[in-house]
Amino acid sequence: MSMENNLWQHILRVRNTSPLVHNITNYVVMNNTANSLLAIGASPIMAHAQSEVEDMVNISHSLVINIGTLDEYWEDAMLLAAKKANELQKPWVLDPVGAGATPYRDKAISSLLSLNPTVIRGNASEIIAIAKANKTVTKGVDSTAMSSEAVEAAKSLTEIHNSVICISGETDIVISKDQIICLKNGHPMMTKVTGLGCTASAIIGAFLGVTENKTEAVVSAMSLLSIAGELAAEKSTGPGSLQVNIIDKLYNMTQDEFSTHLKLSDHAS
Amino acid sequence: MSMENNLWQHILRVRNTSPLVHNITNYVVMNNTANSLLAIGASPIMAHAQSEVEDMVNISHSLVINIGTLDEYWEDAMLLAAKKANELQKPWVLDPVGAGATPYRDKAISSLLSLNPTVIRGNASEIIAIAKANKTVTKGVDSTAMSSEAVEAAKSLTEIHNSVICISGETDIVISKDQIICLKNGHPMMTKVTGLGCTASAIIGAFLGVTENKTEAVVSAMSLLSIAGELAAEKSTGPGSLQVNIIDKLYNMTQDEFSTHLKLSDHAS
Amino acid sequence: MSMENNLWQHILRVRNTSPLVHNITNYVVMNNTANSLLAIGASPIMAHAQSEVEDMVNISHSLVINIGTLDEYWEDAMLLAAKKANELQKPWVLDPVGAGATPYRDKAISSLLSLNPTVIRGNASEIIAIAKANKTVTKGVDSTAMSSEAVEAAKSLTEIHNSVICISGETDIVISKDQIICLKNGHPMMTKVTGLGCTASAIIGAFLGVTENKTEAVVSAMSLLSIAGELAAEKSTGPGSLQVNIIDKLYNMTQDEFSTHLKLSDHAS
């Protein structure tokens, strides 16, 4: 598979060029997100003031918007930043944390979605929730293994918003207009560490800052993090040490470790 | 003591049913609180927007309010959420961080206290401060070892607000209308890790989500965390590794470890 | 060098007297900052409500203002707190995170700078940026190794604001009116852990709470943290474990470790 050869090159490019990633993210994960970005070689900025988010987008390579602990002020800041990113043609990621949990959250997601995020990353229930909340008609579920409700939701979102969608889970599924990539790395204990999904979204932002190929950016990020999680889990006695060891492994992952463990498959969309 | 037999059952119930715990808590501890809740098997939600806190309470099993880094906006959100919890008869915990430090903090605590929290957890000086600020008359201190000023303050709070009070310290004291339980687990180095008290309050929230017995919920939470701290301290070289190891131990604690280390005693109130 | 003998005494004084340090700091580093302060023996307070910051300054030994994730509300709270610190003649530290990145940030820094911080700590580019933004004329760079643009900027800030300036980097440079101290401790991997600069500023706050000698307070803090980083790096496999191990080492550093590793030199200013 030709994509595999490119992934490690993107990882090296992040390490060598330190893309500046502007994060408007949630309080729970800010420290880990910043540390994960630093560990892969990127430069994190965390800034949310309405008085400066546009200027921050201007100096950054990409933007990551994560609504985990949003409120009315932050929502407005997110919209300002996303609009600026579009105006400057900079890539941006939407992480719709908790989509479907409250009407307020769904309204905020709709506003952001209307700005056509470059990438959307969420778990299956979040992707389904945003497709439903935005009246994206899902076409019914057929019987093949991969065509789950979430994949159908993702396909419709891809069509309308031209976004690459990443559905995180035991298998990560990356969906663009003409391709579906499945990634089978990771470890079950990763679900017991808060905010690894948020970290994934932030890392996607870093890769969008170094490559024009949006799908490869997403696959690079997801494979790097989930292989790091797999290797880190081997030496962890619980989710506390796993959180620490993942950051170490993001930092010291070798090409050999990466290519030995990568479990990728693709399909026509 | 018959309670002892129930505690491990509550721990298993949290692991098996993953209660949803809505936290409106402080910035310092959000990551650790979320990770500790995940480690014991619960599902944390962190959300504070006035536009959604009531909806979040509605889908949660319990609510935890921690005023560590409160401000005027968050205070209003906390009041909205606590009122909703009462309306829906859902249990909620108040962690009055820094009670007595400023008039503003005491005023916020009074407003929350008037909504009769299911459980209040604080250290001795916080419990004394909230009793004083709310003109709860303490009846004078008698000479028995346990009847400290804090216990008297707790008793008066229990009487007025019908709350179970937990006074954290070298000995944790859990006070309800008819019972005083003392728990002598824990390790001195735990005082050097920020926010373990906040973590205790969050974990209490999880247990309130799986049992109607409020006192047992509090004792389960406090004993689980303090035994985890005790065991984690054995392999920690300082408070940095202790913070990590506690999360691991919350995750992988066995029944044998729990029952071997538990140091509980109770008294008529 | 006579200062060296005093540094360990200041470290012991923090451990023995637990100065109360009020932090108005950024979301990314709050947990680590609080844990680092606890590890060295200080008592952290994190509070930002406009309704209480003045009262918090009143009960604290020192104040630390870090603008990493500032917004309009926090900016006003910072100004209230800094004014109160001046009124009460309490020392305060300014950490001008991201100086030069946006006009908003520079305006906030100017307002804070006009209140004459006791200490300013930043990296070279931040110190240069605030000197430029505040039209401090740098006098031109001469050819000696240490007289870089940042040092000239720091000298002019020292002259105007009577602040001690700390320029963090591979060599930390502490500049007061009559002295320049260079500290060559630390480890390159420390740049991959988020917020160690912020931790440095917070620790400076703790030392300002126990000694009147502002320069020695800064040098104590910077040497303690960078030696801790050096020793912690020896047993770390990446920045995740480094973050944890630094906190452990701040907690258990011995006098022998400290004096064996200290690399200090001073110069007339």
Say if residue B209's pLDDT is above 90.
Answer: yes
CB C141 within 8 A of CB C152: yes
Q: Which residues contact C143 (CB under 8 A, 6 or more apart)?
A: none
Say if residue B146's pLDDT is above 50.
Answer: no
Distance from CA of A74 to the nearest CA of B (A): 10
* Closest by Cα among A254, A202, A188 to C237: A254
Looking at beta carbons, which residues of chain A come within 8 Å of B66?
A: none
Residues A227 and A220: their CA atoms lie apart, in Å, by 11
CB B195 within 8 A of CB B23: no
Domain limits for position C88: 2-169+192-221
Cβ–Cβ gap A243/B244 under 8 Å: yes
Give chain A's mean pLDDT. 94
Which of B39, B46, B251 lies closest to A69 in CB terms?
Answer: B46
Binding site listing of C for substrate: 46, 195
DSSP string over chain C:
-HHHHHHHHHHHHHHHH--EEEEE--TTTHHHHHHHHHHHT-EEEE---TTTHHHHHHH-SEEEEE-TT--HHHHHHHHHHHHHHHHTT--EEEE-TTTTS-HHHHHHHHHHHTT--SEEEEEHHHHHHHHHHTTPPP----SSTT--HHHHHHHHHHHHH--EEEEESSSEEEEETTEEEEE----GGGGGSTTHHHHHHHHHHHHHTT-S-HHHHHHHHHHHHHHHHHHHHHT-SSHHHHHHHHHHHHHH--HHHHHHH--EEEEE-
Which two structure tokens, joined as six digits, stand for A199?
A: 């970290």
The DSSP symbol for A25 reads: -
Q: Give the rounded percent of residues in chain C with a pLDDT score beyond 90.
A: 90
Band of residue A148 on the pLDDT scale cut at 50, 70, 90: confident
* Closest by Cα among A88, A94, A157, A92 to A128: A157
Residues B250 and B172: their CA atoms lie apart, in Å, by 18
Which of C26, C72, C243 lies closest to A35 in CB terms?
Answer: C243
Residues C136 and C150: their CA atoms lie apart, in Å, by 12
Looking at beta carbons, which residues of chain C come within 8 Å of A22?
A: none
Among the listed ranges A63-72, A143-152, B101-110, C102-111, which one has the minimum average pLDDT value? A143-152
Residues C180 and A210: their CA atoms lie apart, in Å, by 41
**What 3-state class would DSSP assign to B169?**
coil
Say if residue A140's pLDDT is above 60.
Answer: no
Q: What is the pLDDT at residue B134? A: 80
Residues B112 and B124: their CA atoms lie apart, in Å, by 19
Place of tokens 């808060």: A194
Q: Which residues contact B115 (CB under 8 A, 6 or more apart)?
A: B79, B82, B83, B86
Domain count, chain C: 1
Q: What is the pLDDT at residue A3? A: 87
Which of B72, B103, B192 lies closest to C55 in CB terms?
Answer: B103
Q: Is residue C180 assigned to a domain?
A: no
Say if residue C252's pLDDT is above 70.
Answer: yes
From C101, which residue of chain A is nearest by alpha-carbon distance? Answer: A56
CB C224 within 8 A of CB C203: yes
Q: Give the rounded percent of residues in chain B with a pLDDT score beyond 70.
A: 94
Neighbours, chain A (3 or more CB pairs < 8 A): B, C
Q: What is the pLDDT at residue B1? A: 52
Which two structure tokens, joined as six digits, stand for C190?
A: 């420390």
Strand partners, A119: A93, A164
Count CB-CB contacts under 10 A for residue B252. Answer: 14
**Number of cross-chain residue pairs from A and B with Cβ atoms under 8 Å apart:** 89
Mean pLDDT of A120-138: 85
Residues A82 and A112: their CA atoms lie apart, in Å, by 8
Residues C135 and A216: their CA atoms lie apart, in Å, by 46
Strand partners, B180: B175, B267
Question: pLDDT tens digits, residue range C41-83?
Answer: 999 999 999 999 999 999 999 999 999 999 999 999 999 999 9
The DSSP symbol for A137 reads: P
- What Cα–Cα distance (Å) separates residue B34 from each residue in B43, C120, C125, C162, C233? 8, 34, 36, 43, 28
Q: What is the pLDDT at residue A61? A: 98
Q: What is the pLDDT at residue C146? A: 47
**What 3-state class would DSSP assign to A182?**
strand
- B123 interface with C at CB cutoff 8 Å: no
CB B152 within 8 A of CB B128: no
Q: What is the pLDDT at residue C139? A: 47
- A76 interface with C at CB cutoff 8 Å: no
Which two structure tokens, joined as six digits, stand for C188?
A: 């390159």
Mean pLDDT of A52-78: 98
Interface pTM, i.e. ipTM: 0.94
Looking at beta carbons, which residues of chain B come within 8 Å of C244?
A: 240-241, 243-244
Residues A64 and A52: their CA atoms lie apart, in Å, by 15
Give chain C's mean pLDDT. 94
- C97 interface with A at CB cutoff 8 Å: no
Place of tokens 């498959």: A265
Among the listed ranges B101-105, B151-155, B265-269, which one has the minimum average pLDDT value? B265-269
From B74, which residue of chain C is nearest by alpha-carbon distance? Answer: C49
Looking at beta carbons, which residues of chain B come within 8 Å of C45?
A: 98, 101
CATH of the domain at A232: 3.40.1190.20
Q: Which residues contact A236 (CB under 8 A, 6 or more apart)?
A: A189, A242, A245, B248
- Using alpha carbons only, give the angle C49, A78, C28 rounded to the nearest 5 degrees: 50
Extended strands (E) in chain A: 20-24, 43-46, 62-66, 92-95, 119-123, 164-168, 172-176, 179-183, 264-268
* Closest by Cα among B168, B203, B231 to B35: B203
Q: What is the pLDDT at residue B5? A: 87
- Using alpha carbons only, give the angle C50, C53, C56 rounded to the nearest 5 degrees: 155
* Closest by Cα among C206, C166, C245, C195 to C25: C195
Which of C30, C56, C247 lies closest to B102 in CB terms?
Answer: C56
Binding site listing of C: 46, 121, 168, 195
Band of residue C134 on the pLDDT scale cut at 50, 70, 90: confident
Give chain B's mean pLDDT. 94
- B188 interface with C at CB cutoff 8 Å: no
Cβ–Cβ gap A50/C72 under 8 Å: yes
Looking only at Cα atoms, what is the longest distance across chain A?
Answer: 50
More confident of the two residues B268 and A202: A202
Burial pattern A140-168, b for ≥16 Cβ within 10 A else e, equals eeeeeeeebbbbbbbbbbbeebebbbbbb
Residues in B 19-58 with any Cβ partner in A closer than 8 A: 27, 30-31, 34-35, 38-39, 44-52, 55-56
Mean pLDDT of C221-244: 98
Residues C89 and C93: their CA atoms lie apart, in Å, by 13
Question: pLDDT tens digits, residue range A96-121?
Answer: 999 999 999 999 999 999 999 999 99
Which of B46, B59, B249 lies closest to A68 in CB terms?
Answer: B46
Question: pLDDT tens digits, residue range B21-51?
Answer: 999 999 999 999 999 999 999 999 999 999 9
Residues A77 and A65: their CA atoms lie apart, in Å, by 10
Band of residue B235 on the pLDDT scale cut at 50, 70, 90: very high
**Side chain identity, residue C153:** A
- A71 interface with B at CB cutoff 8 Å: yes
Q: Is residue C87 assigned to a domain?
A: yes
